[in-house]
Amino acid sequence: MSKVDDPLARSLQAKEIVKRLRTDIILGEYKSGSRLIESKVADRLGCSRAPIRTAFQLLSQEGLVLNLSNGGTEVIGFTSKQARDLFELRLLLEQKALEQILANRSFHFRPLLESMEHLEQRLSVPEIAPSSAETSILDIQFHRSLVMMADNSPLLAAWNTMANVFQAILEITNMTSATYRQFYESHRRLADLVIQRNPDAADELTRHIVNAKEIIIARLEQNMKS
Amino acid sequence: MSKVDDPLARSLQAKEIVKRLRTDIILGEYKSGSRLIESKVADRLGCSRAPIRTAFQLLSQEGLVLNLSNGGTEVIGFTSKQARDLFELRLLLEQKALEQILANRSFHFRPLLESMEHLEQRLSVPEIAPSSAETSILDIQFHRSLVMMADNSPLLAAWNTMANVFQAILEITNMTSATYRQFYESHRRLADLVIQRNPDAADELTRHIVNAKEIIIARLEQNMKS
DNA sequence: TATTTTAATATTGTATACAAATTAAATGTG
DNA sequence: CACATTTAATTTGTATACAATATTAAAATA
């Protein structure tokens, strides 16, 4: 690529672009209803339209922008109301996943065990506190592996629509370097109940998610413009 | 474009490509786990890779293919088990939408009224029986407008992940030219209850969806390869 | 022979160019 | 002045070319 010798203006990949736009939209940098112009964004970020198009499509499946019927994409925007809706949706989908996990005889633990291993590995170097970005990724991995256990691809697809937005929120609200031990143990408790096929897992999951809800939304509201 | 004088080999738009690939995957034309190569598909359909990339992304958000971490996309495939999961998900999401519609004081009927108008318009020309493609589109429109009434964009985004797949299934199973009147009245009944904010709407919705489930899946199984 | 390294191939990701379509502006007409 | 019609602009959609990466095959080493 032509700009390889200029490290500051190096071309961004689609994934970085999505991440940046997603955060901006959540924080209210774009007015709801305003139109996103591919060439404008491309110029501003110093890349071509190709990765921008990819990025817009990803944002669209996350519900942050809308693909207009005549072409073009407009910003849907994000409010604390939507953050609440997001938490409720997450709870709804994960409850459904858990219900199916507990109901079916055959299922595969592997993903859940692996994500717990990742969480544990991070405990082994307590001197360096995990960043909120790292923690949010570990959290998403854990919950995705839970949904994957249900072996229900439509459910997983639906869950995936909100996963990236959710992760961005966790990162923005700067959860949770100081309390990583607590964070870990909450997931440990939930994972154990799931693996034991203990029906209490459902309540634990609800508590796990509802607990996080209010504090995260409160912090999020401080950071949002609108 | 260069092939405009050759109507048979005219270049397909991304939306047509998605539609074709979606149907093929649902019918089992592609082996689950097999890899989709952009250039191969592009050659076969007689277009460039650009709309193919768009199409793959759309299929990915529908859960029919998977974007591999190192790039590339593989077919997830579709079984009657997944069709059942799809119906359950649809019910879950629409129940949630309805719950919020009935709980909130302020909401906008417009989309629902409009989609009912479309259904009625089709009744006014009974001499021409609606095709399954047309009926499936009207059905999806109705149910999308229901979800839109809840004014919950994460929920709508999740619902949208399964909408196109669902519509394709309706079309494949060739529902329901002969019984359009019945089809209409079922939706009329549901819409009236919703507009009246009658709590019975929840049960009516469940009946509405569960009724369709078994017959559609039975017909679908006849058409699928695997 | 088995395993690592290296080279060749295949495939995706991005940039650019152009065509098609949409939107906005300008012009004409009642 | 309002309203339709035409013209110009903006913007998206697709095609092609190239660069970067990943995958496979081949060669080299133990």
Q: What is the pLDDT of residues B174-224, one digit of tens each?
A: 876 567 888 899 999 999 999 999 999 999 999 999 989 988 999 999 888
Q: How far apart are CA B50 and CA A69, in angstroms?
A: 19
Residue B179: which CATH number?
1.20.120.530
Question: Strand D nucleotides below 7 A of a protein CB?
Answer: 10-17, 19-23
User: What does the pLDDT read at residue B175?
Assistant: 72
Chain A nearest-CA distance from B93, in A, is 9
Q: Does A2 map to a domain?
A: no
Report the nucleotide nearest the CA of residue A73, measured to C1'. Answer: D12
Number of Cβ atoms within 10 Å of the Cβ of B108: 11
Is A57 (CB) below 7 Å from strand C? no
- Give start and end residues of each alpha helix (H) in chain B: 14-26, 38-45, 49-61, 80-103, 110-123, 132-149, 153-172, 180-195, 201-223
How does pLDDT run across A161-178, given as a tens digit for each residue? 999 999 999 999 987 656
Please tell me which residue of chain A has the smallest CA distance to B97. Answer: A89
Closest Cα to residue A211, out of A78, A89, A91?
A: A91
Q: Does A1 map to a domain?
A: no
User: What does the pLDDT read at residue B224?
Assistant: 81
pLDDT grade, residue B13 (50/70/90)? confident
Residue A33: which CATH number?
1.10.10.10
Chain B nearest-CA distance from A195, in A, is 23
Looking at the fold, whether A130 and A69 belong to one and the same domain comes out as no
Looking at the fold, whether A145 and A209 belong to one and the same domain comes out as yes
Q: Does A12 map to a domain?
A: yes
Question: Strand C nucleotides below 7 A of a protein CB?
Answer: 10-17, 19-23
User: What does the pLDDT read at residue B192?
Assistant: 96
Q: Which domain holds residue B70?
A: 7-75
Instruction: Write out the H or E segment, with its range, that includes residue B131.
Output: none
Q: Does B1 map to a domain?
A: no
| pTM of the predicted structure, to 2 decimals | 0.92
Of A33, A59, A75, which residue is a domain's last?
Answer: A75
Q: Does B2 map to a domain?
A: no
Question: Out of B61, B88, B165, whose CB is closest to A61?
Answer: B61
Number of domains in chain A: 2
Inter-chain CB proximity B76 and A153 less than 8 Å: yes
Looking at the fold, whether B110 and B171 belong to one and the same domain comes out as yes
Who contacts B103 (Cβ-Cβ below 8 Å, separation ≥6)?
Answer: none
Looking at the fold, whether A104 and A149 belong to one and the same domain comes out as yes
Q: How far apart are CA B89 and CA A23, in angstroms?
A: 29
pLDDT grade, residue B8 (50/70/90)? very low
Chain A nearest-CA distance from B86, in A, is 6
Of B75, B99, B125, which residue is a domain's last?
Answer: B75
Is A96 (CB) below 7 Å from strand D? no
Is A67 (CB) below 7 Å from strand C? no
Residue whose entry in the numeric block shows the structure tokens 């009974």: B126
User: What does the pLDDT read at residue A77?
Assistant: 84
Is B11 (CB) below 7 Å from strand D? yes
Question: Residues B158-181: what's their mean pLDDT?
Answer: 88
Looking at the fold, whether B29 and B89 belong to one and the same domain comes out as no
pLDDT grade, residue A224 (50/70/90)? confident
Of B20, B43, B75, which residue is a domain's last?
Answer: B75
Looking at the fold, whether B163 and B89 belong to one and the same domain comes out as yes
Looking at the fold, whether A31 and A88 belong to one and the same domain comes out as no
pLDDT grade, residue A225 (50/70/90)? low
Looking at the fold, whether A54 and A160 belong to one and the same domain comes out as no
